[in-house]
Structure 1
Amino acid sequence: MTPHEPELPELDIVTEYGIVTRLPTSFPIYDADLDEHLDPDLFQQGFVDAAGELDRMPCTWAHHHASRILACPPPEDDDEPSYTRGYRAAMYGHLRHGPR
């Protein structure tokens, strides 16, 4: 008998804005639609702002910027954690799916 490994959820979420990859920080991974602490409008604004910043930078600068942002944990006293989560999600998505 082989041990049965639990089936993990898909990390990539396809939206009208592109592919978003959820960070596997905890299991089970909670769907953003079910996350009562997430403000979807602030999350989206953070994502859009970060994507705009990355688009205005040369590719290598954008890669460095995204790496630098994700190297540090978000501030613990963050006033808008939903915005920060969206911002960081865009950075992670850029590193995972963006041009090199």
Structure 2
Amino acid sequence: MKNQNFSYKHLKNLLEIGHEIEFIFDNVPYSINNLGDDDHPNAWVLSSPDDNIYLADFDDRKGLFASLDKIIIKEKSIEEIIDQTLYDPSSLTIF
């Protein structure tokens, strides 16, 4: 995929149909995945080496998008990180 065309809207479209996304921001790998966590086995989470943040139950896309809109990583929203290409473009992986 050509990263220059990747946007936050495209990210949401991919998540809506069940894809998972990985990227590196500020030298830290992040993943938006549906592996769940200890308390939510069927859920979307934002994973990093230090944490798994519950976003929403797997079938709750509205909740997933609402949670993503609120996430701040090092004073940047996910939307800013993606739309401004603040992540390492070579790290973008879509599953």
TMscore range, shorter length:
under 0.3
- Output the TM-score relative to the length of structure 2: 0.27
- Output the TM-score relative to the length of structure 1: 0.26
| Bigger Rg over Cα | 1
Higher relative helix content: 1
Higher relative strand content: 2
